Structure 1
């Protein structure tokens, strides 16, 4: 599974409100659907794959918004206390048979355990192992996960975020999707990626190492 998501390394966050996502001013006009679809395509995802959520004390980290896999979506919500909740959406299903075998998603981006037991809870399943936990559910051919580290986000907070996770409205798409770059239709380029090589972020050091 390819994950192209960069969590913020500095405290740049976007205050998130359920109705307006915190960036729109009252009465501001929402772009037409074609523009929203173009912005989603520039991110290499689809509007119907963009989900948003809400959790008390957590704000959407604007720089974390990115594509997951081929055309999925992922975003992180951060708290002032250092907690991170990751919302991820990708094509797939989940049921009692397939749930335990899903690799557990880690809020830090590192790979979690290859398997984790699943406990039915509300409209989905709760899973915990290796210091991470998540809620996962399937709808409309998509697998929606809300994940966090167990030491940073308690289960009640995680469940609330999972229950509030929903497909973004046009106004929410406008607030969450990045603006298109200078080359319309092309993904916005990451400034910390070298022009050649394997694409790993630059981490230059001096001759002494």
Structure 2
């Protein structure tokens, strides 16, 4: 009996699209990084000091080895989107002038417990909530609103996703295939400058209760 390899567990696409919309609303696509970040560096300049890069990554609570970059025609890295994902993962967004947005995520997590192709149907419905298929070295998953490519690299799962109405499959596939671990030149462009970790920490809100689902506390006084 031939063993059947298990695909990576893809993140819920609804969450991916929600994050993309939140980043767009916050203006994360307004400050593109230098062009060199988009693909593999071909600069003849001396490589940046590795110790300095590690220090900058540490200051931003980012694992340097988990920083990946990609490229897609017309897309540029949104510097404000760069940050930690989960415990030690990495996330970033690439934006296009027409409103398209690609989400790149790198996470350390286990393989799927169930086959990616076993799409579950909505309650009372017959159509699957999502579809999933093998595409070369990666897995392609799609819902009505979003889609993503994912692949495993050692203990990491690298995912490139986007909204279907803004990013077509060909563009998504191209970006997923181009994704690679950042070299030192690319790290220099992606990481926050030394002494600047602004925007990397969660914003504290005084109206969030310490327990429960984290919904804002909108209680009113006894007077109504």
Q: What TM-score results when the alignment is normalised by the length of structure 2?
A: 0.68
**Residues 1:81 and 2:98 aligned together:** yes
> Runs in 1 of length 4+ with deviation above 6 angstroms?
3-6
**Cα gap change, 1:153 to 1:189, in 2 (>3 Å):** closer
Higher normalized helix content (fraction of residues): 2
Listed as ranges, the gaps of 5+ residues in structure 1 are 103-114, 201-209
d(CA) in 2 for partners of 1:122 and 1:96?
A: 21
- SS in structure 2 at match of 1:87: strand
1:59 corresponds to 2:80: no
Could you list the runs of 5+ residues in structure 2 that have no partner in the other structure? 1-10, 120-128, 209-213, 215-224
Counterpart in 2 of 1:70?
87
Provide the residue aligned with 2:159 in structure 1: 145
Larger Rg: 2
Comparing 9-18 and 55-64, the one that deviates more:
9-18
Aligned residues: 181
Distance in 2 between the 1:193 and 1:80 partners?
28
The structure-2 alpha-carbon separation of the partners of 1:48 and 1:98, relative to structure 1 and needing over 3 Å to count, comes to farther
| Post-superposition offset of 1:45 | 2.1
The Cα shift of 1:69 comes to 0.3
Maintained 8 Å contact 1:92/1:138: no
Where relative contact order (Cα < 8 A, 6+ residues apart) is larger, the structure is: 2
- Alignment partner of 1:40 out of 39, 44, 57: 57
The RMSD of aligned alpha carbons is: 3.4
CA 1:30–1:192 in structure 2 vs 1: closer, same or farther (change >3 Å)?
A: same
Deviation at 1:15, TM superposition (A): 4.0
Question: 1:98–1:65: structure 2 CA closer, same or farther, 3 Å change rule?
Answer: farther
Task: Tell me what 1:188 maps to.
Answer: 198
